[in-house]
Structure formats: C-alpha cells, structure tokens
Amino acid sequence: MVGLERGTVALVPHDPAWREAYEAEVERLESIAGDRFLGYEHVGSTAIEGIPAKPVIDLLALVEDLTTARDLVPELTDHGYEHRPDGDVAGRIFLARGPRSNRTHYLSITERGSEVHRESVAFRDHLRENPSVAEEYAALKRNLAAEYPDDRDAYTAAKGEFVERVLDRALHG
C-alpha cells in the first residue's frame, strides 16, 4: 500500500513492495528526465526494513547543479508532481506526487554530495546497520503518530532531536 492524505500521520508495517514502488518511480523519472538526474536514492522510513512508515515513498534525485535543475520542475509538474517550496530545508527542490488526499511519493532533488544527500543516506544506512537504533526510532514514531495523527509538522518536529543524535553518530562516529 502506498499513499496518505497530506498533513496526516498514519504508520503502517514495513512492506517489501515499497522497494518495488521506488524502483518503478525511478524508471518513470528516468523516462521524464533522462540523464539530467545523475542517480537516485531510496530514503526515509520506507527504505528501512522492519520499521513502520508513512506509506509514502521518499526519493532523492541527484543532480550536478541545483540551479539548473529548477528547469525540471515544470516538466515534473506536467507528470503529476506538485512543487512544494520548502524553506525549512536548504539545498533541495521538493515535490510531492499524488493528490493531496493520497500522496504517494516525495521527491527531493539535490546536488550529489550535498548536505541533504549525505545526511539522508547516512541516517538511512545507520538505521539499517543498527537494528536497536532502528527499533528505538520505530517506537518513537509510533508514539508520536498516536499523539499527532493530524499534525504532520508537529510529528516531524518531535522527531528532530532523535534524528540529530543519530546523524551525529552516523557522520562523526
């Protein structure tokens, strides 16, 4: 199952089909953007086996230069993405796919090697390699989802301290 109403928080158990949904979206993006994307990463909780997640596939699309990548936005919106200006995260272009009642994909376009790229991959890999940390994150997510089912911003903000602590360990040992 993929899809969730914008602004809400509902976690579901990990679904191995999320990997296939990621791969299918990469193929779709390649058909739209060709070689303008240098590579892709499956990030976010749907990329971490064994933990619950909002059923929305998070992708990073890597580019050489974010300024010129902005030219892709109109083409992506023509193919079902909505540009979501995101002042909270520097260094990325953020788009969502699917109607607001059923978001299915989040696409972050960022420069290869950027802070967004490094941190997203480091967090994912650290949780994949440390099952006890992944379970701690899963428990936190379940508690916060119960507390903030209709407030995605509060849910995300409440995870911040945990995410920063994991990133510090993942990036600096």
In a domain, 43, yes or no: yes
In a domain, 6, yes or no: no
Tens-place pLDDT, residues 25-58? 999 999 999 999 999 999 999 999 999 998 999 9
In a domain, 114, yes or no: yes
In a domain, 7, yes or no: no
CATH code, domain with 73: 3.30.460.10
**Rg of the chain taking only CA atoms, in angstroms:** 15
- State pTM to two decimals: 0.91
In a domain, 74, yes or no: yes
Structure tokens at 124: 């994912």
Tens-place pLDDT, residues 119-138? 999 999 999 999 999 999 99
- Which conformational region is residue 44 in: left (phi greater than 0), alpha (psi within -120 to 50 degrees), or beta? left
Contact criterion met (CB below 8 Å) for 99 and 114: no
Report the C-alpha gap between 19 and 28 in whole angstroms. Answer: 14
In a domain, 5, yes or no: no
What is the extent of the structural domain holding 164? 17-172
**How many domains does the chain contain in total?**
1
In a domain, 76, yes or no: yes
